[in-house]
Structure 1
Amino acid sequence: MSGPFSDLEDTIFSDKSVLTEDYQPEEILERDEEIEEYRYALQDVLFGRAPENIMLYGKAGLGKTAVTTYMMNALKAEAEERKQADDLYIHELNCNGKTLFVVVRQLVNSLLPENASEFPKRGLGTSDAFEELYRQLDRVGGTHFLVFDEIDHLDDVNTLLYELPRASSNGHITNSQVGVIGISNNYTFRQSLSSKVKDTLMENEISFSPYNADELQTILRDRADRAFVDGACDRSAIAMAAAISAKDMGNARQAIDLLRVGAKVAEKNEDRKVEDDHIESAKELVQRGRLSNRVRDQTDHAQYILETIAHLEQQKKTPARSKDIKAYYEKVTTEWGSEPLTTLKSIQDHLSDLHMLGFLQRSEQNDGERGGRRYEYELDLDPQIIIDARKEVESE
């Protein structure tokens, strides 16, 4: 008896997971300089000395998280072979959409004994969570690296970066050592920190620059050799995916996505090889998907504001002033059953952030001596992408 899958006999893939975002390569390509900087910043741990704090900067898809995972695994393996090195513990957390309390609570729970009750979600404050964190760090002992991915998304990052690096000097921990590793997509993140944090953090900074086309080709050739059966991916298709990504953002994740989606297009067309036309077809699909994911990564109210401007754009009411955006935003939030932000300043702060992130275009208007200067905003991407992404979020 035949079924809908009975005619599927083979595939162009040998290991499709190689092209997924979760794949961690055994070898990191085209990041030798950054790995060497990282190696120097981490080396004290191998001699039993206090770990240094490290901040990584660079846009998404430039290898910051992959390199960090690679270096942490290598450091832990080496520390186990060194008599001078303390027991080493790595704690990795993603800060996107989380409060400081949630992050500290997660750290506490990762350190608690196996049979202990979790730190409560309610009833205690952030200071209580920090106190418990220090207790657990000293109970476990050793050296701990706390890795905070997307640290620039944390609501009260100044408190985190003031508390943890000073935990030993302030007497909060005596039997353990702590190093902080922050990963940020925002090159100007350090400028947003308070002066007291900047003065005490004393971090090593490692900046990840965009890949060029040759570097992306090296990465894609390696992935293609692992992902596809022999002869199933044309070298010119790899060159095209690398060139598109290098011209756009120099983003390895985007280049790999182009290859993966191009392969899906080829299979759907029942073609046996990924070629240039498949990559060309994948280009728009990947672009829309990436923009949608960027929208979904924003806070709830940032998304409401983006949806507001998308609707205004479709009604041809942009560029729009912040007070007009606020009025429509209140309608959008109410329709989604949420409480709107109440002050114009809070809306303007979100608009400024969304402009900085590249979602919005901003133009300055001068209304003369009495009116003063003001900004008007409009989207810098297809409004339908915003609306579609918002519908998907709310339906989850």
Structure 2
Amino acid sequence: MGMFQRDRRVFADAEPLDDSYEPEDIRERDEELEKYQRALQPIIDNRPTSNIFLYGKTGTGKTVATKFMLSHLEDDAAQYDDIDLSTVWVSCENLSSSYQVAVALVNELRESRGGDRISTTGYSQQRVFDILYEELDVLGGTVVIVLDEIDNIGHSDDILYGLPRARSNGYVEDIRPVIVGISNDFQFRDNLSPKVKDTLAEKEILFPPYDANQLRSILEPRAEKAFHDGVLDDDVVPLCSAFAAQDTGSARQAIRLLREAGELAQADGSETITEVHVRNAQDELEKNQLYEGMQELTTQGHAVLCALAYREALDEVPVRSRDLYKRYTRICGRLDTDSVSERRVRDHLSDMNMLGLIRVYERNEGLSAGRYHEYELDVPLRAVLDVLLSTSRFEDFAGIIHSAADDNGLLRSDISDY
């Protein structure tokens, strides 16, 4: 008998519990979808359309709602002979500048027609923009440009200035570009340059975290498809929903928790998934979520985390934000990326505290120094190094931090508590 054997006692079809699964309908987002439909309606009416920006934390339905709405938009637009609609989608997860986004857009457009990609280096930014405008003009009509996780570009926001003005500036003749920006950072717009804010003239749609009842509504049809009849105890879906609602309000977290509970039940040979499996799954995923939370930080967030890890490696923690900021700006200089203000660094630190990645101490020195905060990592340094090593721009920094930590004997060989 082989080591691996097919086991279908628990799962009937696990696809509805996969991150890539696209449901037939979008639940618990009626108000947001109504706003989205109003924002896209001018395309069907064949008139100028505002840019659209979606804000919300990870797992609140922004991306799945966009795929759902654009799919319907494309189907409905096909009924009209006078509408020429194209969409192009770029994930900005590993892109930290307008230059990189423009290159990615050019290559996405060229690949869709079987053309040759351009190199990611060797061009001036304006030349890449010119190539992008040429590629867009080939399409003609209305082109919806989706920039997912656009907050990764930080202050390098020229792409958000150039694209909306391309037609009025004469860079394109036959197209109307419409930008759909998707951001995990509610404060992203606040940090755009004034000229970009003025040019975008976008409609904003906020996706708040789900509550437990909403998550239960989202989970139930997926669970019905994913598991055999009678496998789920009655309290499993409500408990998964409650855990996720109390933590992040993320549907993705609730779905992963349900899948993990099923896998644990399958592993121990159980024919039912119980509350115990959910609680054990929660413990397991909490560790994984810390790692994923670090991975999903923006480039600026990674730079702040890198600065704090370096101070940790030197055994110089807890550290005040003003001292951490000096190291952060040096890292940005080495990365050749713009640094943000010290206030924004504190915002990133606050986000990391909410994710459980760092620990914050409030100090009160009285009249001499007043109140201030100090920060240190709340996860093993080795775990942070693993994340930085997996992010190409931070590999060199990870090596430097590793050497400093080794010199100070701060790297633990056992990270079982992580």
Q: Residue 416 of structure 2 aligns with which residue?
A: none
Q: CA offsets, 1:97-119, max 9 Å, x none?
A: 31221210111122237454322
Shift of 1:10: 2.9
The alpha carbon displacement at 1:283 in A equals 0.9
Aligned to 2:132: 133
Code of the aligned partner of 1:34: E
**CA drift at 1:82:** 1.7
- Distance between the aligned counterparts of 1:388 and 1:164, measured in 2? 39
Aligned-pair CA distance for 1:296? 1.7
8 A Cα contact 2:294 2:387, kept in partner: no
Partner of 2:379: 383
- Tell me by how many angstroms 1:353 deviates: 4.4
Identify the residue that residue 56 of structure 1 maps to in structure 2.
54
What whole-Å deviation, never above 9, does each CA across 1:190-226 have from its counterpart, x for those lacking one? Answer: 2112222222211111111111111111111111011
Cα root mean square deviation, aligned: 3.0
Aligned to 1:91: 88
Code of the aligned partner of 1:352: R
How many residues matched?
Answer: 378
Partner of 2:310: 308
| Matched residue SS, 1:92 | strand
Q: CA 1:366/1:134 → structure 2, altered by over 3 Å: closer, same or farther?
A: farther
8 Å contact 1:355–1:362 — kept in the other structure? no
Measure the CA separation in 2 of the matches of 1:84 and 1:166.
23
Q: Report the Cα distance in structure 2 between the residues aligned to 1:165 and 1:320, rounded to whole angstroms.
A: 42
Say whether residues 1:352 and 2:346 are aligned partners: yes
State the TM-score, normalized to the length of structure 2. Answer: 0.81
Q: Are 2:304 and 2:349, in contact at CA under 8 Å, matched by a contact in 1?
A: no
> 1: CA distance between counterparts of 2:335 and 2:365?
27
Moved more, 187-196 or 219-228: 187-196
Q: Give the conservation status (yes or no) of the 8 Å contact 2:86–2:139.
A: no
Q: Give the Cα separation in 2 of the matches to 1:149 and 1:28.
A: 19
The answer to whether the Cα contact below 8 Å between 1:296 and 1:389 also exists between their aligned partners in 2 is no
- Kept after mapping to 2: 8 A contact 1:158/1:193: yes
Residues 50 and 178 in structure 1, CA contact (< 8 A), matched pair in contact too? no
CA distance in 2, matches of 1:41, 1:284: 41
- Relative to structure 1, the CA distance from residue 378 to residue 178 in structure 2 (aligned partners, 3 Å threshold; closer, same or farther) is same
For the residue of structure 1 that corresponds to 2:54, the secondary structure is strand
> Quick one: structure 1 residues 327 and 191, their matched pair in 2 at CA, closer, same or farther if it must change by over 3 Å?
closer
Report the Cα distance in structure 1 between the residues aligned to 2:272 and 2:247, rounded to whole angstroms: 25
| Range that drifts further, 267-276 or 296-305 | 296-305
Which string of whole-angstrom CA distances, capped at 9 and with x for unpartnered residues, describes residues 234-291 of structure 1? Answer: 2211000111111222111111111011111111111111111111011121122112
- Counterpart for residue 216 of structure 2: 217
1: CA distance, partners of 2:199 / 2:93? 24
Between the aligned residues of both structures, percent identity stands at 34
Asked whether the 8 Å contact 1:29–1:218 carries over to 2, the reply is yes
Distance, in Å, in 2 between the alignment partners of 1:327 and 1:147 is: 35
> In 2, are the aligned partners of 1:233 and 1:274 still within 8 Å (CA)?
yes
Distance across 2 between alignment mates of 1:25 and 1:204: 25
The aligned runs of 1:1-396 (5 Å cut-off) are 2-6=1-5, 8-85=6-83, 87-98=84-95, 99-112=97-110, 114=113, 116-298=115-297, 299=299, 301-308=303-310, 311=313, 318-321=317-320, 351-359=345-353, 360=358, 361=360, 363=362, 375-379=373-377, 382-384=378-380, 387-391=382-386, 394=389
Three-state SS of the structure 2 residue aligned to 1:357 is: helix
Q: What is the rounded CA distance, in whole Å, between the counterparts of 1:23 and 1:323 in structure 2? A: 44
Distance in 1 (alpha carbons) for counterparts of 2:340 and 2:57 = 26
Please say if residues 12 and 229 of structure 1, whose CA atoms lie closer than 8 Å, have aligned partners that are also in contact.
Answer: yes
How far residue 347 of structure 1 moved from its aligned partner, in angstroms, is 10
CA, structure 1 residues 308+268, in 2 after alignment: closer, same or farther (shift >3 Å)?
farther
Cα distance in 1, alignment partners of residues 201 and 308 from structure 2 = 37
Rate the CA distance shift 1:191–1:33 in 2: closer, same or farther, 3 A. Answer: same
Q: Does the 8 Å contact 2:308/2:324 carry over to 1?
A: no
Q: AA paired with 1:383?
A: V
**8 Å contact kept, 2:291–2:387:** no
Cα deviations by residue, 1:53-83 (Å, 9 ceiling, x for unpaired)? 1011111110000000100111011111122
Question: Contact (CA 8 Å) 2:321, 2:346: kept in 1 or not?
Answer: no
- 1:171-190 CA-to-partner distances (Å, cap 9, x unmatched) read 21111110001111112222
> Which amino acid counterpart does residue 160 of structure 2 have in structure 1?
L
Check conservation: 1:296, 1:303, Cα contact below 8 A.
Answer: no
Check whether the contact 1:94–1:150 (CA below 8 A) recurs between aligned residues: yes
Asked if structure 1 preserves the Cα contact closer than 8 Å seen for 2:236 and 2:275, the reply is yes
